[in-house]
Structure 1
Amino acid sequence: MNTIEAYEKDIFNQLEFLDAFYPQKPLSKIQQKNVIFSGTGDSFVSAMLAEVFSNYQVQSFDPLDLLKNKTIAKNKTVYFVSVSGNTISNINAAKIPKKSIAITSKPQSRLAKACDDFIIMSSRTSDVFTAGSISFLESALICISLVAPVSISKNSQIFKKALSDAKKSQLGKRIFVLGSMHTYPIAMYCAAKFYELLGYDVHFQRIEQFSHMELFSIKKGDTVLIFEEKNSHNKQLVKNLKNIGLNVIHPAFESKNKISQLLYYVYLSQLLPLFEAKKRRKKECHFVLSKKFRNASNQMIY
């Protein structure tokens, strides 16, 4: 099985995983005021989602920030999110807090051993080294469930709509993914999947900040993806961008349930680069083939 096939298999296995997912018991509001979530890469996205879904009662930090300013975490409980449990910055930062808890798939990992406690992820992957999908979704839902009640809809239309919307999307030379609140971290995740699968030039930004910054670097033929339910503000943004010749994709799943919205945008973030890779007849993920870059990355991460 090649790495693109493995990635696709993991994406589709998420539906079965969700049927069996058991959320954590949410921390009390008082407890949340003394809690930090930390992680790197996809896991940092999960940490950021915890912050948003807690209504900003908990905080999310890059582990290097915790290492550079140890007073941030000194008297806190910190959840370190890491699928592999081997990210060195997490391991080093785990020594700082009053209490550290690992969220990882590896109970024997260095991070799990460095922490006071751990929560073990149980989702099954294809066991092929590929871009993260099902493991990310599990870590995100674990983090969210620690700060808010999680009710997962059994509505299969969420995935079907994401599948349909991804298949019909036409992407340009460069891609800008925009979000706000709970969709901004997913915009970051979406960009990461394009990097990993295709090595594309993709940018992520908050919806408001885009009009102040990245908009001035954009060129005709670029694509802007807006991850947010339709409202008067982003409808005006879509109109303005189309008027200057940009390709704008504004997909949405109509639901008042933020978890359902989250699932839709996670699926879409995974499927858009998958179908782009298939269109380009790619068999292997870009980051897997880019051994020199991956070695440079590994030297910093591990």
Structure 2
Amino acid sequence: MKTIEAFERDIIIQTQFLYVFKPQSLIPKSSQQNTIFCGSGDSLAAALLAEAFSDLRVRAADPLDLIKNKQITKLHSVFLISISGKTISNIKVAKLARESIAITSNPKSKLAKACVRTIELKFPNSDVFTGGSLSFLQSALTCISLVTNFTMPNHEQIFKKAIIEAKKVKFTKRVFLLGNLHTYPLAMYGAAKFYELLGFDAHYERIEQFSHMGLFSVKKGDTVILLEEKNPHNVQLVKNLKKLGLKVFQPIITTSNKISQFLFYTFFTQMVPLLETKRKKKTDCHFVTSKNLRKVSDDMIY
């Protein structure tokens, strides 16, 4: 099985997985203020989602920041998110934290052994080295369930709607993904999928900050994807960006339920780059075929 095919398969089986997802026991609100969620790559996006859904009671952090600022790490319980459990910086944090809890699919990993307890992520996958989709969904929902209670919405309808919206997107090789408190982590995650699958020049930013910073790097014909339901502020932003000759796409979602929005934008940010690989008739992910880049990445991560 080629890596793009494996990525697509993992995306499709997400709807089956959601029927059997089991949330974790809630961290007491009184303890959340002394809790940090930590990860890298997709796992940092999952950590940021925990921060957002906790109403900022918990904090999300980069592992290197916690290593370099031990006075913070030693005072907090740290949930360390790593699918493989092999990320060396997470393992170092685990040994520094007041209490360390691993969130990983590998309960026998070095990370799990360095932590006082482990939350095991169990999910089916294609067993092919490919971009993270189902693994991200599982880790993100697990993190969210630790900080707030929620009920699972009609995810199959949400999945179908995300595919419909993703098929509408047309873009050049520069993409800007913009999000708010709850969707900025998904803008980050979506940019990662553009990197992994296509090697595209993708950027992610908070909606407000884009007008202060990223806007000044855009060029006519660039694509901006706005991960937020319509409101007066972003309606004006879309209008202004189109005047500059930018392609602006705002996927339509009609619910204000944050979990429904999380699922929708997750599926959407997976499908948009996947559909582009199909248009380009790619069979393997960019990061899989870019062996020199991956070697540098592996040398730094593991």
Task: Give the TM-score band, short-chain normalised.
Answer: over 0.9
Are residue 236 (structure 1) and residue 236 (structure 2) matched? yes
Q: For 1:152 and 1:3, how far apart are their aligned partners in 2? A: 30
Structure 1: unaligned runs, 5 residues or longer: none
Post-superposition Cα deviations, 1:72-115, rounded to whole Å, max 9, x if no partner, equal 11121100000000000000110111110000000100000010
Q: For 1:123 and 1:88, how far apart are their aligned partners in 2? A: 23
1:259-274 equivalence runs, <5 A: 259-274=259-274
Q: Deviation at 1:217?
A: 1.0
Report how many residues are paired: 302
- Which stretch of structure 1 is more off in the superposition, 12-21 or 249-258? 249-258
Contact 2:178 2:204 in 1 (8 A): yes
Runs of 4+ in 1 over 3 A off after TM superposition: none
Q: For 2:189 and 2:244, how far apart are their aligned partners in 1? A: 27
Post-superposition Cα deviations, 1:251-297, rounded to whole Å, max 9, x if no partner, equal 13111210000000000110000000000000000000000000000
Are residue 100 (structure 1) and residue 100 (structure 2) matched? yes
Q: Letter of the aligned partner of 1:54 in structure 2?
A: S
Contact 1:197 1:286 in 2 (8 A): yes
Contact 2:67 2:73 in 1 (8 A): no
Are residue 206 (structure 1) and residue 206 (structure 2) matched? yes
Q: Deviation at 1:70?
A: 0.3
Q: For 2:51 and 2:171, how far apart are their aligned partners in 1? A: 31
Q: Deviation at 1:239?
A: 0.3
Q: For 2:92 and 2:32, how far apart are their aligned partners in 1? A: 23
Q: Deviation at 1:155?
A: 4.3
Q: For 2:283 and 2:131, how far apart are their aligned partners in 1? A: 13
Post-superposition Cα deviations, 1:180-205, rounded to whole Å, max 9, x if no partner, equal 10100000000000000000000000
Q: Deviation at 1:171?
A: 1.1
Give identity over the alignment, percent.
Answer: 57
- In the other structure, the counterpart of 1:115 is 115
Give me the CA root mean square deviation: 0.7
- In the other structure, the counterpart of 2:52 is 52
1:129-278 equivalence runs, <5 A: 129-278=129-278
Are residue 88 (structure 1) and residue 60 (structure 2) matched? no
Contact 1:172 1:247 in 2 (8 A): no
TM-score norm. by structure 2 comes to 0.99
Post-superposition Cα deviations, 1:202-237, rounded to whole Å, max 9, x if no partner, equal 000000010111111101110000000110000000
Q: Letter of the aligned partner of 1:43 in structure 2?
A: S
TM-score norm. by structure 1 comes to 0.99
Q: For 2:262 and 2:253, how far apart are their aligned partners in 1? A: 9
Contact 2:165 2:252 in 1 (8 A): no
Q: Deviation at 1:33?
A: 1.1
Contact 1:193 1:273 in 2 (8 A): yes
Q: Letter of the aligned partner of 2:107 in structure 1?
A: P
Q: For 1:194 and 1:256, how far apart are their aligned partners in 2? A: 27
Contact 1:227 1:252 in 2 (8 A): no
- Which stretch of structure 1 is more off in the superposition, 147-156 or 276-285? 147-156
Structure 2: unaligned runs, 5 residues or longer: none
User: CA, structure 1 residues 208+171, in 2 after alignment: closer, same or farther (shift >3 Å)?
Assistant: same
